[in-house]
Structure formats: C-alpha cells, structure tokens
Amino acid sequence: MKFTILGAGSSYTPELLDEMIVRRESLPVDELVLYDIDEKRLEIMTGFCRRYSAKRGFEIQIRGTKDLDDALYGAAFVDTQIRVGGNRQRVKDEKIPLKYGLIGQETTGAGGMMKAFRTIPVMLDVAEHMVKDSPDGWIINYTNPAGLVTEAVTRYSSANIAGFCSGGIFPKMWAKQSMGIDYSRVQYDYVGLNHLNFISNITIDGRPVTEEEFDTLARTNDDVGADIQKLLGCLTSPYLQYYYKTGQRVEELRKKPQTRGEYVQELEKTVFAGYADPENADIPEALYKRGGGGYSEVAMNFVNAVYNNIDTEMVVNVPNRGAVSFLPDDGVVEINCLVNRRGMSPIHKIHVPAPCWGLIAEVKNYEMLAVEAAVEGSVTKMKQALLAHPLVREYSIVEKLVPELLEGSKEFLPQFHLTQTS
C-alpha cells in the first residue's frame, strides 16, 4: 500500500507514522511518500521519519518529493494537511478581524474564510491530479477549514474525499479522561458542521448517560462550559465558545500578548530543532504543547475501514444528501457515517436539538456562499457570505473588512482581483 502525506512538513506527520506502526499487522503500508513545497522542512521530516521507523523496527520505504504527480501516482490513500501561506498568513487571519471587534481565529468567522480562500484552489488542483494519477485512491482531508475544503472538492471535482476532524472523537476522549471509560463503550448522535457540532443521545454500554454523567462530560469541555451545555441539553464542539461567548472571547483575544499563530510559530522552532537533530528518533515533547492530537487515530481508522472492508461508524464531513432534513443536499455536514470499502454512508438524523438547528443553518448558508466565492473569485459572494455569518453580519463592517482581508492574502488569491465587484 502506498500512503502519501501532502503537507508532510507539518509537525504532526510523525503521529501518522506512529499510527501506521501500531497497525502494521492489519494495514500493510510499504511505501510512505512525503510531499511538501518547503524543501527544508521536507528534508528534516524525511530524515526524522526514517530514524523513527528504524528505531521501531518498521521496515518501510520512506521518501520525500516535491513532484505532486510522483506523490499521488498509485497512492491508495493521500492525507492532506496543508497550510497555504503558513502561520504567517494565519496571524493576519487572526489580527485583521480583531481590529473590527470580530473573532480572529483560523477556522471560525472571517479569518477562517480567508484560510478557505487560499486553500480551496490548491486543494482543487490536488483533486484534479488525484483523478488523473490515482482515480480509485482516497483523499483523507485534514486541511482546515475541513468542512469548506471538503465541500469544494465534492462540488467541483470527482475525486474521492473524506473530510475529518479529531473533534468527532472528543466525547469519547472526554469520557476516558473524566470517567476512565474505553472509547468503544461510548456512542452518540453527532450533527452539525465542522467546528460547529452538537452531540446528543449519548450512551455508555448502550444505556443513556445519567444526569450526573452528562454533567461530568460537560464540565470536561470547559471551553464552552457545563452551564451552557446543560441549557442546550447536549454537548458541543469546543468551538461553540466563539458563538456563545463572543464578546468575552473577543476581549480575551485582544488582551493576549500574542495570537495563537504567533505562539505556534515560536513553538515550532523548538519542535523542528528536535526533528532536525540527527541523533533524535523520538517525537519532541514540545509538540504536545501545540494541541490538536487524535487526528492520526481517526485517519487510520478510516484507512482500516476502507482497506479491510470493516463496517465502522465514524464522524465524517460528507455531502448532506438528506441526512439533515433542513440543509441542502450538496452542502457538506459533519455527522455519523457508516464507513467501509464502498465509502461513507451518512446516518440520517431524526433528531437535531431544538436550540441548535438555527445556528447550523445560518453557518451552512455562510459556508456554501464562501465556497462559491473562493472558486469564482467573487467579491460579491464574499460579502454575502460575511453578511450571512452570525459572527460578522454588520454591513458597515463588511465593507471595510473585505478590502483589508483581500489585501492581506493578495499573493495567495489569484482568483480574486481587488478592483472587481462581482
């Protein structure tokens, strides 16, 4: 099996390799191809991954390449984790909205939209190459904002793609952390969009959780808080903090001495110094300060389900196709699916918690307009998307914000022209 990682210069790449080592008996990966446009990072990561696998007795061919066709040709699975413009652009996505009193965050709100605008054209190019080089292969997308990227590829390409986020297993992680319960014992209905999810009908060993157990899980998700989740009657994605605590979060972000992107830039200097050390064959401890863990486990669960044709329930970003009745069929949702060699089959959602469906619909409206704006290079649809977004919405701010956002990412937006009006 040939497995390719696009954006292999990411500090998370060794976690995927580690998961392959754990599953070596069931998933016979014999070639790991690392692709990145950053030659220095690619060289460092290729060397580290070779040392890491050798220390653990994992006999596999590992090579780096800057040739996209070489990376994709014949690949059974392609994990995408790219960041167009790097963390330098992320910092702009964080700072520009904050100037206008808006949430400055890499996947949520106006900043998330700009990340999508830079990323979607690149991912559509990857999808086009995938159709040519490996038409039966699967793109496993972790590139954020995952929902918008996955929707763009499904609407404008015939490539096979499954969009993922580690958030799908967060309730299992919370149960293990707070109650010592194994993942397999915890089940739930998961409905919404990437980074905008609601978790209900939670069971342990098939029985509904008690009020006390729900409270324990809700307290573990402390970004949102137990009081809000108890009021809603369901658990939520941690990213709902930006919707339910908007003013508080804006003030906190403004007062911080540096943005999250600036912090990550500094942290990665330490992480990559560890990766670059020719005597080191272990993942640097500094990586675990960055957060975002769990995604490699989810990715390889998908590989296992497809490659070995094992029916597996997973949370996936997929076209709606009637699964959530009040959303368009071609809009991508993040919901429970049955996964096997045939792909993903969304599990129809009979119940969506009443306090939640309006927000889901609003943000889906924004997402679909944002995807179209990214593909068409339409300033008009960009403005419409921001007006639809519950974290932006105000016309006078949109008119000032749009030119500054476009100027900040100008070198990465060939589809946009600052003077165009449509």
- In which element (H, E) is residue 163 found? strand 160-163
Residue 244: which H helix or E strand, with range? helix 241-244
- Catalytic, 190? Answer no
Task: Give, in order, the Cα–Cα distances in Å from 266 to each of 124, 232, 273.
Answer: 31, 38, 11
Q: How far is residue 299 from each of residues 17, 158, 334, measured CA to CA in Å?
A: 11, 21, 15
Q: Which two tokens stand for residue 11?
A: 């500090």
Neighbours of 208 (CB within 10 A): 11
CA–CA gap between residue 65 and residue 106 (Å, rounded): 28
Alpha-carbon distance of 147 to 237, in angstroms, equals 14
Q: Cα–Cα–Cα angle for 363, 115, 285, nearest 5°?
A: 110
Active-site option among 12, 190, 239, 243: 239
Q: How many helices and strands in the chain, by DSSP H and E?
A: 16, 13
Instruction: Return the sign of the alpha-carbon dihedral for residues 315, 317, 320, 324.
Output: positive
> Which residues are paired to 353 by β-bridges?
none
Residue 156's Cβ-count burial label (10 Å; 0-12, 13-18, 19+) is middle
C-alpha span between 82 and 302 (Å, rounded)? 19
Instruction: State how far the Cα of 258 lies from the Cα of 260, in Å rounded to an integer.
Output: 7
Short-list 13, 5, 22, 148, CA closest to 71: 5
Question: Residue 191 is encoded by which pair of tokens?
Answer: 């409905």
Q: What is the largest CA-CA distance in the chain?
A: 60
Catalytic residues, which ones? 239
